């Protein structure tokens, strides 16, 4: 579809919170368009003089594409200097520190935004014309801002039945109703979601219909599952029917891998780096953005998993109409994303170029594939299959262990048939033995209405582990201890 035939996003201001409706654009913000104009003497804002910023330049050394030998072992590097003044720049796409570290630019530095927009076009084909990007301090802040923009106290948000605990805590702290959506190994189950929405007043009497549908589609935290592309149109149509905004939180999007195969069935030559850039892009899951003919999808992106979480740099992709509202909020909250982070990340990305960054992302896939394979290989080696199930993982940083509580010899007696008690007991036994996993119950979204039937309530306990930053020897040790602990507690030895 050519740009002149693209549609425009709908106006969703009817879904804004009272706070968002009350907030007006900052008049001082309108003056920033003249800040770089050499013909204008700028007396309109209280800015400290950049010539006394205590930095004249910063030097960065980064791996040089195409990252031969793996990301952690790449010895070929490139050095760049980020200068304070525009006139001293040695690379024309750098952000001068005098501007990066100054007030203003709360939407993001133009050099970084231009790269990220081209990056978005490369990976996602958005069907409407007036989409845009705004930088953030990461997905957690983006989610908190989304709640403030769309929700009043007492409103309702939908979340996967197991989800990132901070997402729930942020919503509950604002007095919102958090309602779980049933899921399986392929993510949200659309048929069950439709049934929930159709029978809402009977299931949640007196609770408002949801405004937001929050999902972590790829490498979901904590389950590690990835929402099937086949289910996304169904879910999007439900968002249209019930007039919801979809918040698509994708920090693990570029940690997608080929399906897991047992070690004896694995091709030794499998190597993500061998794929062409085009093949790599085609292999990735489809974003809700590509289905979004209304402009009701807000995608949260971040460098926390592709660069480093301490950068505190992310961005939101959505309709310009919606992002203007985020901009208004940023003006009175975070002001802007850290200037150091924007300058450094922009400097790296623009030096690499789009092809170089894709090479980096392909390298990430390879690194995480090796870590995932090592972890699951040893799960199958050490964990007792009579009581433990390990779902395959094809994206992200996490794996889940499902343990059949009913097979514990004291489940009905000592633990009174209560899997929560047994979960806590097993957790403490594992920690005492020297291995720690997170309890699945920590991530479970609890229904706001007592008496509502629990989603997928059964005797299965779940524990979340990660393979992301655990050295191979430590992974073997930890899974060996875990296996021995479970065998002992379930009387399998």
Range of the structural domain that residue 375 is part of: 371-490
Which range, of 44-58, 260-274, 432-446, averages the lowest pLDDT? 260-274
* Mean pLDDT confidence for 350-360: 97
Residue 249 · residue 300 · CB < 8 Å: yes
DSSP string, 122-143: HH---SBS-EEEEEES-HHHHH
DSSP string, 421-482: HHHHHHHHHHHHHT---EEGGGGBPPPSSTTPPPTT-SSEEEEEEE-SS--HHHHHHHHHHH
Of 42, 49, 36, 48, the residue nearest 86 (C-alpha): 36
* CATH number of domain containing 444: 3.90.1150.10
The answer to whether residue 91 sits within a structural domain is no
Residue 259 vs residue 31, higher pLDDT: 259
* Mean pLDDT confidence for 136-146: 97
Partners of 82 in the β-ladder: 58
Q: Chain-wide mean pLDDT for the chain?
A: 93
Which residues touch 404 (CB under 8 Å, ≥6 apart)?
387, 388, 389, 459, 460, 461
* Mean pLDDT confidence for 183-192: 97
Report the C-alpha gap between 352 and 373 in whole angstroms: 29
Greatest alpha-carbon pair distance for the chain in Å reads 82
Please give the structure tokens belonging to residue 373. 């394979």
The answer to whether residue 483 sits within a structural domain is yes
Q: Which pLDDT value is given to residue 275?
A: 78
The H or E element spanning position 144 is helix 139-150
The answer to whether residue 115 sits within a structural domain is no
* Mean pLDDT confidence for 354-382: 96
The H or E element spanning position 388 is strand 388-389
Query: What does each C-alpha distance from 107 to 128, 132, 377 come to in angstroms?
Result: 21, 10, 45
Confidence of residue 456 (pLDDT cuts 50, 70, 90): very low
Query: What does each C-alpha distance from 227 to 17, 138, 253 come to in angstroms?
Result: 29, 22, 11
Q: Which pLDDT value is given to residue 269?
A: 43
Give backbone dihedrals phi and psi of 230, rounded to 5 degrees, phi first: -65, -25
Q: Which pLDDT value is given to residue 74?
A: 84
Please give the structure tokens belonging to residue 342. 């924007």
Of 375, 374, 390, the residue nearest 463 (C-alpha): 390
Counting residues of the chain whose pLDDT is more than 70, the rounded percentage is 96
DSSP string, 234-281: HHHHHHHHTT-EEEEE-TTGGGB-PPP--GGG--TT--GGGS-HHHHH
Cis peptide before 66 (omega within 30 of 0): yes
The answer to whether residue 66 sits within a structural domain is no
The answer to whether residue 447 sits within a structural domain is yes
Q: Which pLDDT value is given to residue 141?
A: 97
Instruction: Inform me whether the pLDDT recorded for 72 exceeds 90.
Output: no
Strands 131-136 and 314-319 come out as antiparallel
The answer to whether residue 416 sits within a structural domain is yes
Query: What does each C-alpha distance from 249 to 144, 163, 183, 217, 280 come to in angstroms?
Result: 12, 11, 16, 7, 21
Instruction: Inform me whether the pLDDT recorded for 273 exceeds 70.
Output: no
The answer to whether residue 377 sits within a structural domain is yes
Check residue 52 and report its DSSP letter.
G
The 10 Å CB-count burial string (b at 16+, else e) for 77-116 is: eeebebbbeeeebeeebbbbbbbbbbebbbbbbebbbebb
Q: Give the predicted TM-score (pTM) of the model.
A: 0.94
Which residues touch 429 (CB under 8 Å, ≥6 apart)?
485, 489
Q: Which pLDDT value is given to residue 106?
A: 87
Residue 254 · residue 266 · CB < 8 Å: no
Instruction: Inform me whether the pLDDT recorded for 271 exceeds 60.
Output: no
For residue range 13-39, list pLDDT tens digits in order. 999 999 999 998 877 777 777 777 888
Q: How many domains, the chain? A: 1
Q: Which pLDDT value is given to residue 5?
A: 65
* Mean pLDDT confidence for 448-461: 67
The answer to whether residue 31 sits within a structural domain is no
Q: Which pLDDT value is given to residue 455?
A: 44
């Amino acid at each position: 579809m050519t740009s002149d035939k693209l549609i425009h996003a709908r106006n969703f201001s009817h879904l804004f919170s009272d706070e968002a409706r009350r907030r007006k654009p900052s008049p001082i913000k309108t003056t920033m368009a003249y800040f770089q104009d050499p013909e204008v003497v700028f007396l309109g804002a209280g800015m400290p003089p950049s010539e006394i910023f205590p930095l004249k330049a910063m030097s960065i050394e980064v791996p040089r594409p195409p990252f031969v030998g793996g990301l952690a072992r790449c010895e070929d590097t490139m050095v760049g200097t980020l200068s304070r003044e525009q006139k001293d720049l040695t690379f024309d796409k750098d952000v001068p520190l005098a501007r990066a570290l100054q007030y203003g630019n709360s939407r993001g530095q133009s050099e970084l935004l231009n790269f990220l927009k081209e990056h978005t076009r490369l990976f996602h084909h958005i069907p409407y014309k007036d989409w845009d990007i705004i930088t953030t301090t990461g997905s957690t802040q983006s989610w908190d801002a989304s709640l403030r923009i769309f929700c009043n106290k007492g409103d309702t948000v939908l979340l996967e039945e197991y989800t990132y605990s901070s997402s729930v805590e942020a919503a509950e702290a604002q007095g919102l109703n958090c309602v779980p959506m049933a899921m399986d190994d392929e993510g949200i189950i659309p048929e069950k979601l439709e049934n929930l929405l159709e029978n809402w007043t009977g299931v949640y009497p007196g609770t408002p219909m949801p405004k937001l549908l929050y999902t972590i589609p790829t490498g979901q935290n904590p389950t590690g599952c990835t929402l099937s592309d086949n289910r996304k149109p169904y879910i999007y149509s439900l968002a249209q029917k019930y007039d919801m905004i979809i918040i698509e939180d994708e920090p693990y999007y570029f940690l997608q891998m080929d399906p897991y195969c047992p070690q004896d069935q694995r091709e030794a030559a499998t190597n993500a780096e061998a794929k062409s850039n085009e093949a790599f892009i085609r292999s990735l899951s489809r974003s809700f953005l590509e289905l979004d003919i209304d402009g009701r999808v807000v995608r949260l992106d971040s460098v926390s998993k592709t660069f480093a979480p301490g950068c505190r740099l992310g961005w939101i992709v959505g309709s310009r109409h919606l992002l203007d509202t985020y901009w208004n909020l940023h003006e009175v909250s975070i002001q802007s994303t850290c200037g150091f982070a924007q300058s450094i990340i922009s400097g790296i990305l623009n030096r690499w170029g789009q092809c170089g960054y894709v090479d980096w992302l392909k390298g990430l896939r390879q690194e995480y594939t090796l870590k995932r394979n090592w972890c699951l290989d040893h799960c199958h080696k050490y964990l007792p299959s009579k009581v433990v199930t390990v779902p395959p993982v094809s994206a992200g940083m996490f794996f889940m262990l499902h343990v059949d509580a009913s097979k514990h010899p004291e489940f009905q007696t000592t633990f009174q048939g209560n899997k929560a008690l047994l979960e806590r007991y097993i957790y403490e036994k594992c920690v005492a033995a020297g291995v720690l996993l997170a309890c699945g119950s920590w991530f479970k979204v609890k229904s706001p209405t007592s008496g509502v039937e629990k989603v997928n309530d059964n005797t299965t306990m779940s524990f979340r582990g990660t393979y992301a930053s655990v050295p191979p020897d430590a992974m073997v040790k930890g899974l060996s201890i875990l296996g021995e602990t479970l065998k002992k507690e379930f009387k399998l030895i």
